[in-house]
Structure 1
Amino acid sequence: MPLKPWRQEEVLQSSNLKRFDYDDLKKATKNFRPDSIVGEGGFGCVFKGWIDENTFAATRYGTGLGIAVKELNLHGLQGRQEWLAEINYLGTLCHPNLVKLIGYCVKEEQRLLVYEFMSQGSLENHLFRRRSYSKLLSWNLRISIALGAAKGLAYLHSSEPIVIYRDFKASNILIDSNYNAKLSDFGLARYGPDYGMTHVSTRVVGTYGYAAPEYMATGHLTIKSDIYSFGVVLLEILAGRRAYDPNLPETEKDLVKWAGPYLTNKRKILHVMDERIKGQYTVRAALKASSLALKCLSEDRKSRPGSDQLVIELEQLLKMCKTQ
């Protein structure tokens, strides 16, 4: 079956976004060479490139402003709807804790998105992958990154209309050269419920281990679905373990189920904490962080904190960490 043709008018005409020429992006990324690839996901490959920060013209590789160019794989897991969602959300939203979308490129069936380059990669890489560029994140940096991500969520949840992120996970939290956290990949985002409605009904999508149980069971999406996912990521940050790890013993594969019984006990909490940051925090700080994670993971979505409350509590925790 032939692919449905794209139409330029599908793209939101935002004055904040530049429409790039395909040949310029080709030049900026060294002709999309494999050694320019910095990531790959359901959307497609992500290439590193370089442009002039004022004119946005391609520059010699390694000079000017670093960019990340995401190329849509037309036969991949994400397609037209997600590509347009990314443009329509990031083309209008602007916050220090959201990755900046600089522009896009449309050439026949090809679709590309151009972002600011996040030099420290994803939180997932730092927590779970032993790559040469991945730095072992200290306790203070971990809490600072959690705070930055919470600020990004709080902005989305307070925008007009409200935006439900729907794909909050460690791989979508990117880190810049100053270790500031920024949310990326808005392909699955949705606007919140209309006035008088309690939720948005959608097909269940996302990544196993991060989605709220009520959303998985009913498809009912609310901002509290994002809060549950935040709790999972906060637990990953504390434990240095994945939300779901098939390589672990059966009783430890699911992080939330395994860690839950330990999170409120002063003696047991250390059993959950990442061994690599041992000695960098007080038991009081660990309990405060784990208590927040537990509140986010409540089965009752109404008892989960709001994203603005996450910001307040993490700011208090970071202040506690820096004065201890």
Structure 2
Amino acid sequence: MRDAAAAALHHAVVAVAAAALVTLAVTLFLLWRKKKKKRRVATASNADRAMKAPAPLPVVPLADVERATDGFHRTRLIGRGPHFAVYAAGPGVAAKRMHPHLVLGAAGGRHFPSAVRSLAVPPHPDLAALVGVSEGPGERVLLVDRAPAGSRGLDTLLFGAASALTWRHRAEVAAAAAAAARALAHLHAHGVAHGRVRPCNVLVVVVINGSAQTRLTDYGLAGFLDAADGNANIEEDVYMFGAVLLELLTGRLWDGGALADWALPRIRAGSEVLDAAADKAEARLLARAARVALACVGNADGRSRPRMNEVADILSDVEAAFRRREGEVGEDDGGGDEERLSGCLLAPSRSVHKADLLLRPPPV
């Protein structure tokens, strides 16, 4: 009897041990599979990132830049701003030479060129990209896409001495602003805030067929050039893009936000601010752009503002409607635009009546 009990106990111990070994083996196998899957996913993710990652900005010898600009000769000077003098440096390329007093400061000393190299993003047709960087004793130079011939800053078109945009021109530029919105969305998708969304950094290009296009310039520099703008973020970009739209649509200066105080209550209330009617089709497109501006500027909480890709999608619809109206794509379908554009960030307009148009006449 005692031998039978011992044998039963022995078999029970063996069974438990075998079950434990099987459980351990299964657990180890599952852990191995999980780890292998994680490695495979991580490898694929790294490969995707490598494919999507932009090429680092090339470092160009300063001697080559000096040769291309004839030693930064004044005959090569094509522009001057608060931080850079801009020189023609070859076909399609401009050299932005940092002013000497900035080179000696934090912007040119500690933060350049590492901060600039972090701004490398994949190419985009609506973005005037950084294409290289150069430095030497007392010199900091950015190489950028040169503005196409005939392009002008939006600030010059709006507020220059000879500025006199007609309603059609405003509708055309408002439609073309979709390109600048797409460029901003592209930057945000790659973790770069522009930081300087201003009319002066929106280039308006008139192409051969007479239609307008826009390009965005000078992105990402605020973070290390301007201490006051060191906290640039994508929500602020969205806000200032709305500010640029309001300037375009009203012909008034932003004036530190005074324009928003004047325009936004009128946009919300549908007040009449037009003294002269525009063409109905142009007016409808301008009113759409006005409501996009309201969505960008009307929210004090940056998290409540639309994302730039949403803004770009809506303005791309406005752009397509304008192109169809101009006969560049095809005949207008007789009112389909209003229905197709109704997926705006705000409610669609009640009508195309003059009272719904929240603009003032262009300057005479």
> If the length of structure 1 is used for normalisation, what is the TM-score?
0.67
1:19 to 47, 59, 63: 59
Q: Which amino acid aligns with 1:313?
A: I
Q: Separation in 2 of the partners of 1:135 and 1:85?
A: 41
Q: CA deviation at 1:154?
A: 1.2
Q: Separation in 2 of the partners of 1:143 and 1:128?
A: 16
Structure 2 partner of 1:166: 195
| 8 Å contact kept, 1:232–1:256 | yes
Helix, strand or coil for the counterpart of 2:79? strand
Structure 1 partner of 2:344: none
Mark the CA change 1:129 to 1:265 in structure 2 (over 3 Å): closer, same or farther. same
Q: Which amino acid aligns with 1:143?
A: A
Q: Which runs of 5+ in 2 are unaligned?
A: 1-53, 208-212, 326-364
Helix, strand or coil for the counterpart of 2:255? coil
Structure 1 partner of 2:135: 106
Q: CA deviation at 1:171?
A: 1.6
1:260 matched to 2:264? The reply is yes
Deviates more, 1:90-99 or 1:150-159: 90-99
Q: Separation in 2 of the partners of 1:266 and 1:238?
A: 15
Structure 2 partner of 1:122: 153
Q: CA deviation at 1:69?
A: 0.8
Mark the CA change 1:165 to 1:27 in structure 2 (over 3 Å): closer, same or farther. same
Q: CA deviation at 1:292?
A: 1.0
Structure 2 partner of 1:58: none
Mark the CA change 1:285 to 1:264 in structure 2 (over 3 Å): closer, same or farther. farther
Q: CA deviation at 1:101?
A: 1.9
Structure 2 partner of 1:205: 229
Structure 2 partner of 1:227: 238
1:186 matched to 2:225? The reply is no
Q: Separation in 1 of the partners of 2:323 and 2:271?
A: 23
Helix, strand or coil for the counterpart of 1:163? coil
Q: CA deviation at 1:139?
A: 2.8
Q: Which amino acid aligns with 1:128?
A: F
Q: Separation in 2 of the partners of 1:38 and 1:131?
A: 20
Q: Separation in 2 of the partners of 1:85 and 1:270?
A: 49
| 8 Å contact kept, 2:174–2:286 | no
Q: CA deviation at 1:148?
A: 1.1
Q: Separation in 1 of the partners of 2:281 and 2:77?
A: 37
Q: Separation in 1 of the partners of 2:175 and 2:307?
A: 18
Q: CA deviation at 1:266?
A: 4.9
Helix, strand or coil for the counterpart of 1:99? coil
Mark the CA change 1:164 to 1:115 in structure 2 (over 3 Å): closer, same or farther. closer
Structure 1 partner of 2:314: 313
Q: CA deviation at 1:26?
A: 2.7
2:170 to 128, 139, 144: 139
Helix, strand or coil for the counterpart of 2:142? strand
Q: Which amino acid aligns with 1:260?
A: L
User: How many equivalent residue pairs?
Assistant: 259
Structure 1 partner of 2:43: none
Mark the CA change 1:19 to 1:157 in structure 2 (over 3 Å): closer, same or farther. closer
| 8 Å contact kept, 1:152–1:183 | no
Q: Which runs of 5+ in 1 are unaligned?
A: 1-13, 51-64, 191-201, 207-218, 246-252
Mark the CA change 1:16 to 1:126 in structure 2 (over 3 Å): closer, same or farther. farther
Mark the CA change 1:81 to 1:118 in structure 2 (over 3 Å): closer, same or farther. farther
Which structure has greater helix proportion? 2
Q: Separation in 1 of the partners of 2:307 and 2:55?
A: 32
> In angstroms, what is the RMSD of aligned CA positions?
3.4
Mark the CA change 1:131 to 1:75 in structure 2 (over 3 Å): closer, same or farther. farther
Mark the CA change 1:223 to 1:25 in structure 2 (over 3 Å): closer, same or farther. closer
Q: CA deviation at 1:314?
A: 0.5
1:37 matched to 2:77? The reply is yes
| 8 Å contact kept, 2:121–2:187 | no
| 8 Å contact kept, 2:120–2:130 | yes
Q: Separation in 2 of the partners of 1:122 and 1:89?
A: 26
Helix, strand or coil for the counterpart of 1:254? helix
Structure 2 partner of 1:270: 274
Structure 1 partner of 2:302: 301
Q: Separation in 2 of the partners of 1:128 and 1:85?
A: 36
Q: Separation in 2 of the partners of 1:283 and 1:265?
A: 17
Structure 1 partner of 2:96: 70
Q: Which amino acid aligns with 2:244?
A: V
Mark the CA change 1:141 to 1:79 in structure 2 (over 3 Å): closer, same or farther. farther
> If the length of structure 2 is used for normalisation, what is the TM-score?
0.61
Q: Which amino acid aligns with 2:260?
A: V
Asked which structure has the greater CA Rg, the reply is 2
